[in-house]
Structure 1
Amino acid sequence: MEIYKTEAEIAKPKNWLLSIVVIVLVTFGVLVLLQGLALAIVPFLFGVSLEEIIALTSGGGQSIENGRMVLFFVQAFGSGLGFIVAAFIIAKLIEKASFDWESQVSRFNWSGFLLVLLITLGGMLFNSMLVDLNSKLVLPEFLSGLESWMIEMEDQLMEMTKFMTDFQNTSEFLMGLLVIGILAGVGEELFFRGVVQAKLHQYTGSGHLGVWITAIIFSAIHLQFYGFLPRMFLGAMFGYLYLYSGSLIYPILAHIFNNAFTVVMVYLAKKGMVDFDIEATDNVSYLASVGGFLVLLAGIYYFKKTNASKNGELGQSL
């Protein structure tokens, strides 16, 4: 039920390979260009030298004044706004497509939003088990070199995450909510679900394949190998919210809620108000995870049924 309407020649199924190549090139180019622009602005905006910027982006320089705000600024341009701009260029300028926002807004309602929050909470509980399982991944002996590299990459990314979420004041916390929660939610959903999933659905002829292939790409592009399964699962959950409703508003809000919840919990833990460790993977409640999965399944089933009924598509075959 995704909405992505275009009659452009490049967007037709027969030109699927060319279309995918264009998407990759445009997206990579936009992300690099905007990140480069952000890095060029940073010295004037924050008074940070190029050497300090390089140290920050490579995982060092954590003692640099305003370092956290610098990283948030670069991430906001390089990924949050980057995916929004890439989606706009691909859809509007290259494929002359329409997202038909009027229809998308009309398909949103507050009862559906409350149901999506329940689905997301259930997904988050179940995801804790996937985080635990993924953290215990052991590759065969002949891939030991690859495994060592993956662990090193994961450690570097975790150190960066810990630094960026080690909020020292309210301004940094609010910037974290904006960049990690809102911009990531809007940008990634507009691009991955709004463009990529809709096109893969069209090319494969299957809504389910469109959801899962996009979820795999969504997870892989983050380059966090020991978080691959939980992120793929989240991508699939967001994908089904779009597939069954025809409104990107639902997955965008679910994505924002998922990310913002973690940011808030980290901030409250730093204040000593809750017990929360972003690194912890060994305190999983399997009973809560199974309960969350059941809530997720029931919620998705009801969400699909109510949206199909509302849009007169109960007989839709996916």
Structure 2
Amino acid sequence: MKGFVSSRLHPVVNLLLLLVLMFAAACVAGFLFSVIGYLVYGVKLSEIGNVAQNPAAHPHGWEVVMLSQGLLLFGAFGCSALALVALMGYSWEEYFMPRRPVSWVWVAAAALLILGSIPAMSGIIEWNAKVHFPEFLHGFEQWARAKENQAQGLTTFLTRFNTTTRFLVGLLVIAVVPAISEELLFRGVIQRNLVQWFGSRHAGVWLAAFIFSAIHQQFFGFVPRFVLGLILGYLYEWSGNILVPMVAHFTQNAFQLLLLYLQQREWTASTFDPDSTDSLPWPWMLASLLFTAYLLYFLHQRWRAELVAPPTEMHVISSHGVAVAAADAEPTVRHTLGSKGVVVESAPPGPDAPTPQH
């Protein structure tokens, strides 16, 4: 399918176009939020800022902020990524899932990797929360800690799940929407274009993880979020399917929300503090580190094996779309994942090769 813009644009141009689309999508999402907020909750446009600053003072503050968070995140991140791909003439499946279908092993291992890394991550969280900047950055440190406290206060307010309905809404807005929208944007578009730009998987993954962590503007949680971004980035590079980091991202957020909900319903030990930045005992962290390293090694080896193993079916991408050919058929055009993203390899058709069906 031919797009409105060329699919051969330089990655830098693609990223600049993405910024434009993000701004436009954020404007549309903001307009929808203002309309829905007024019609459903009676919040006028002039009152939105006050509600956002002090949602506890408004009778529908929780609902309004949740609506704002969900619409803006899905619009500015998810919809802008999807729009860019559509403008270039790709199908979403073709662009975000160059290797498909993905084995259930990747999905299960991604979720297990996130859960298994939690004790090890607790040590990084504690270190980053207590870090101090040099004296000449003292003013910046004070500003950063104030931003951190403000964000923590809003998070604490939004995660007061006094009903099951609130928990389910929180699960949707804080776990499902970020897992979809942020992975489409950071891994699906930004990381892919950075890999193509620098010609290196590692450069693309590390830069995308840095941007992913920096955009949250929580500097005393920057390092653990950066490490999470690295894990999500390599999961996407190795699996070749955006669903894998989406599952991992959802598992990360949903598990934290579930612990909060259980603690608030007093279904866990009274000594449990979900907001604590203290690390877990070192034997747990060591075991977690070894388990995480093993899973990453296992997935890396599986990726290498899948690169050389003959697939059970091969996706042939032509100018008219995507067709599926049998594994013993030689396609005229084949897309594989190389160090610079998706690389086209041409191969002469065999005498009995079927014609792709579009």
**TM-score, normalised relative to structure 2:** 0.79
Counterpart among 277, 285, 291 of residue 289 in structure 1: 285
Once residues 7 and 126 of structure 1 are traced to their aligned partners in structure 2, the CA distance between those partners, rounded to angstroms, is 46
Matches within 5 A, 1:93-112: 93=87, 95-101=88-94, 106-112=100-106
Q: Does 1:24 align with 2:19?
A: yes
Higher mean Cα deviation, 286-295 or 104-113? 104-113
Q: 1:284 to 1:103 in 2, by over 3 A?
A: closer
Q: Does 1:261 align with 2:255?
A: yes
1:54 deviates by 2.0
Counterpart among 282, 305, 308 of residue 309 in structure 1: 305
Is the CA contact (8 Å cut-off) linking 1:215 and 1:236 kept in structure 2? yes
**What is residue 194 of structure 1 aligned with on the other side?**
188
**What is residue 331 of structure 2 aligned with on the other side?**
none
Once residues 257 and 84 of structure 2 are traced to their aligned partners in structure 1, the CA distance between those partners, rounded to angstroms, is 31
Counterpart among 29, 39, 49 of residue 44 in structure 1: 39
**What is residue 88 of structure 1 aligned with on the other side?**
82
Counterpart among 132, 148, 151 of residue 157 in structure 1: 151
Once residues 278 and 272 of structure 1 are traced to their aligned partners in structure 2, the CA distance between those partners, rounded to angstroms, is 12
Q: Unmatched 5+ residue regions in structure 1?
A: 1-5
**Higher RCO, 1 vs 2 (CA within 8 Å, ≥6 residues apart):** 1
Counterpart among 182, 206, 211 of residue 205 in structure 2: 211
**What is residue 164 of structure 2 aligned with on the other side?**
170
1:50 deviates by 4.2
Secondary structure of 2:117's match? helix
Is the CA contact (8 Å cut-off) linking 1:135 and 1:226 kept in structure 2? yes
1:222 deviates by 0.8
Q: Does 1:131 align with 2:131?
A: no
Once residues 28 and 188 of structure 1 are traced to their aligned partners in structure 2, the CA distance between those partners, rounded to angstroms, is 15
1:111 deviates by 2.5
Deviations 1:129-166 (A, max 9, x none): 11111101211111111111111111100000000001
Secondary structure of 2:308's match? coil
Q: 1:258 to 1:220 in 2, by over 3 A?
A: same
**What is residue 243 of structure 1 aligned with on the other side?**
237
Whichever structure has more strand as a proportion of its residues is 2
1:42 deviates by 0.6
Q: 1:288 to 1:52 in 2, by over 3 A?
A: farther
Counterpart among 229, 237, 246 of residue 223 in structure 2: 229
Secondary structure of 2:59's match? coil
Once residues 295 and 65 of structure 1 are traced to their aligned partners in structure 2, the CA distance between those partners, rounded to angstroms, is 46
1:125 deviates by 2.3
Is the CA contact (8 Å cut-off) linking 2:102 and 2:241 kept in structure 1? yes
Once residues 105 and 211 of structure 1 are traced to their aligned partners in structure 2, the CA distance between those partners, rounded to angstroms, is 18
Once residues 86 and 11 of structure 1 are traced to their aligned partners in structure 2, the CA distance between those partners, rounded to angstroms, is 19
**What is residue 343 of structure 2 aligned with on the other side?**
none
- Alignment length, in residue pairs? 308
1:170 deviates by 1.2
Once residues 242 and 268 of structure 1 are traced to their aligned partners in structure 2, the CA distance between those partners, rounded to angstroms, is 31
1:120 maps to amino acid: I
Higher mean Cα deviation, 282-291 or 162-171? 282-291
**TM-score, normalised relative to structure 1:** 0.89
Higher mean Cα deviation, 81-90 or 226-235? 81-90
Counterpart among 122, 142, 146 of residue 148 in structure 1: 142
Is the CA contact (8 Å cut-off) linking 1:123 and 1:292 kept in structure 2? yes
**What is residue 3 of structure 1 aligned with on the other side?**
none
**What is residue 34 of structure 1 aligned with on the other side?**
29
1:24 deviates by 2.0
RMSD between aligned alpha carbons? 2.4
Is the CA contact (8 Å cut-off) linking 1:30 and 1:86 kept in structure 2? yes
Counterpart among 206, 214, 219 of residue 220 in structure 1: 214
Deviations 1:234-271 (A, max 9, x none): 11101111101101111001111110111111111101
Once residues 256 and 211 of structure 1 are traced to their aligned partners in structure 2, the CA distance between those partners, rounded to angstroms, is 19
Once residues 38 and 286 of structure 1 are traced to their aligned partners in structure 2, the CA distance between those partners, rounded to angstroms, is 46
Q: Unmatched 5+ residue regions in structure 2?
A: 311-336, 340-358
2:117 maps to amino acid: G
Secondary structure of 2:81's match? helix
Matches within 5 A, 1:266-281: 266-275=260-269, 276-281=272-277
1:51 deviates by 5.4
1:85 deviates by 0.7
Q: 1:84 to 1:234 in 2, by over 3 A?
A: same
Once residues 227 and 277 of structure 2 are traced to their aligned partners in structure 1, the CA distance between those partners, rounded to angstroms, is 17
Q: 1:28 to 1:224 in 2, by over 3 A?
A: farther
